[in-house]
């Protein structure tokens, strides 16, 4: 199978397997999503979802976050890890949203990425999930699978993002992001990928699968 063909077949199988996959993070507004994604750095979505209901019951807007204060915010989000830097980012982002955007989360990627604690991944998640703008957010799962499966090999998340954009139709960018995340969580894990039960095992070029 030619290089381009096996990648398209991988994507076809992923779409068939994970059609309808949605984010695990729980949120009720673009701001809540922004906070949840900041908290999810080096933390599981499950852990974030155990923390955010209590947080959002107290503070679900930038104004309420500032009223809550950094010390109280740190206390609430401590289970998510790196709580001091995350609290600093959330406070900083809240201030910038109030000062520059009337307290609303902007849809524009270039404006999102200016917010404290917001890199390309977070900006792409918010643009994609909250505002339905086609985007591919490269988290650890997407980065690992893109290289392991030779979908879009790259040394940096940006290289992988650019490579995926070239092979995936734009209208499927956001959905494909979720296919890869779910496949990375359920089957193609970082350690001990379940190649035996993988729907891609007949075409996947990963060394683990070939050794199978």
Q: Which of 95, 121, 132, 192 is catalytic?
A: 121
Known catalytic residue: 139?
yes
DSSP summary character for residue 153: -
- The set of long-range contacts for 13-16, using a CB threshold of 8 Å and a minimum separation of 24, is 13/199, 13/200, 13/203, 14/176, 14/179, 14/180, 14/183, 14/200, 15/172, 15/175, 15/176, 15/179, 16/199
d(CA 131, CA 128): 6
- Centre a 10 Å sphere on the Cβ of residue 19 and count the other Cβ atoms it contains: 10
Whether 84 contacts 55, CB under 8 Å = no
Q: What are phi and psi of 11, to 5 degrees?
A: -65, -40
Q: Which of 139, 150, 194, 202 is catalytic?
A: 139
Q: Which residues are the active-site residues? A: 121, 139
């Amino acid at each position: 199978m030619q290089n381009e063909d096996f990648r398209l077949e991988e994507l076809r199988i992923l779409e068939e397997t994970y059609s309808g996959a949605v984010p695990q993070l729980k949120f009720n507004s673009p701001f809540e999503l922004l906070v949840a994604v900041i908290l999810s750095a080096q933390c599981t979505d499950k852990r974030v979802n155990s923390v955010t209901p209590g947080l959002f019951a107290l503070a679900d807007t930038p104004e309420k976050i500032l009223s809550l204060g950094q010390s109280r915010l740190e206390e609430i989000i401590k289970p998510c890890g790196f709580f001091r830097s995350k609290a600093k980012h959330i406070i900083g982002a809240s201030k910038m949203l109030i000062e520059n955007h009337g307290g609303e989360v902007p849809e524009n990627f270039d404006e999102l990425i200016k917010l404290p604690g917001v890199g390309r991944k977070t900006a792409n998640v918010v643009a994609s999930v909250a505002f339905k703008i086609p985007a591919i957010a490269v988290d650890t799962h997407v980065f690992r699978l893109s290289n392991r499966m030779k979908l879009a090999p790259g040394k940096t998340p940006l290289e992988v993002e650019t490579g995926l954009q070239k092979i995936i139709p734009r209208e499927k960018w956001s959905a494909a992001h979720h296919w890869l995340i779910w496949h990375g969580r359920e089957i193609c894990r970082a350690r001990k990928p379940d190649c035996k039960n993988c729907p891609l095992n007949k075409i996947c070029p990963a060394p683990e699968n070939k050794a199978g």
